[in-house]
Amino acid sequence: MTPARRRFLSHLSLAPALLLAGAPALAKNGSGEALTVGLMPYLSTRTLLHTHEALAHSLEQTLQRPVQLRTATDYQDFFQHLRNGSYDLVISPPHYAWLAISDYGYQPLLVHKEPIRGVIVSASNKPLHSSRDLRGGSIAINDRSALLAIIGSQVLAAEGLQEGRDYHFINTVSHSSALQNAVIGKTRAALVNATSLRLAPPDIRERTLVWREIAVIPGQFYIARPGLAAATVDAVRKALLVFEASAAGREFFSSTGQGGYRPVNADDRALLERALPETRRLLHAATPG
């Protein structure tokens, strides 16, 4: 068991902020204040830790300062931390990131090369054959403010299925939980990103069946909080590219299917600007103040 994992497990029952991992060795060496990295809680906390441990370690080594991975209890809690500037670096869904850039002064760094692909899945023993099979049923999602849910509802509406009339979304605590709901038959289906299905435990993956891809959106954004020194922002961007080129980085991008890093482009901006009003409406309604 790694030191980071031991430290994480010791905090599991304690902190509402859900501190995931730190850098005990670097902290002891007095190498500077910790860089906090905020992770959207779209997977279970344990899976988030396991997935991002190598990234945190690489950033520590390159930047020569401690790095702490943090997450939140749910999407609304994450958004409140994002709005409050609680994290130095944030790995965020694209529409949350674009809102943070547009409204709160966050600085864009990089985007995952591979887009986020939203898929609708069912239990393997109860496959979906058409959108009509969703009538009268429910679809498990991570959160209604997720861009996949926003676009998914629009696609289904274009096919004649109205949310609230023909089907209902059921919020769950993570994509992992949404998949579990579909597998055990609690919901007719789940709408999740393909990466979460890829990272799901084998017993869950083997009991799910992908019906269709319903949305393709830009990959996760890496953004820096307003007020973070320009030299630090530049150093973090370079450190991320060092990670991408490393053996650990290649393994990370292979296992997650996220492809590496790229800059934000005009297509990202155009799509996310179109989604911005609905993103604002859903998030501000859910997290007033």
> What does the domain layout of the chain look like in residue ranges?
3-114+218-286, 116-217
CB 195 within 8 A of CB 213: no
Which class is 116-217 in CATH?
alpha beta
CB 191 within 8 A of CB 153: no
Query: How do residues 203-226 score in pLDDT, each as one tens digit?
Result: 999 999 999 999 999 999 999 999
| Fold equal for 3-114+218-286 and 116-217 | yes
CB 244 within 8 A of CB 159: no
Provide the whole-model pTM.
0.78
Query: How do residues 124-177 score in pLDDT, each as one tens digit?
Result: 999 999 999 999 999 999 889 888 999 999 999 999 999 999 999 999 988 889
Query: How do residues 72-84 score in pLDDT, each as one tens digit?
Result: 988 889 999 999 9
- What CATH code would you report for 3-114+218-286? 3.40.190.10
In angstroms, the CA 185 to CA 179 distance is 10
Query: How do residues 249-283 score in pLDDT, each as one tens digit?
Result: 999 999 999 999 999 999 999 999 988 998 998 88
* Predicted pLDDT at 287: 66
Phi, psi (5° rounding) for residue 104?
A: -120, 5
Query: Which token pair is 175?
Result: 């994509």
Phi, psi (5° rounding) for residue 188?
A: -70, -30
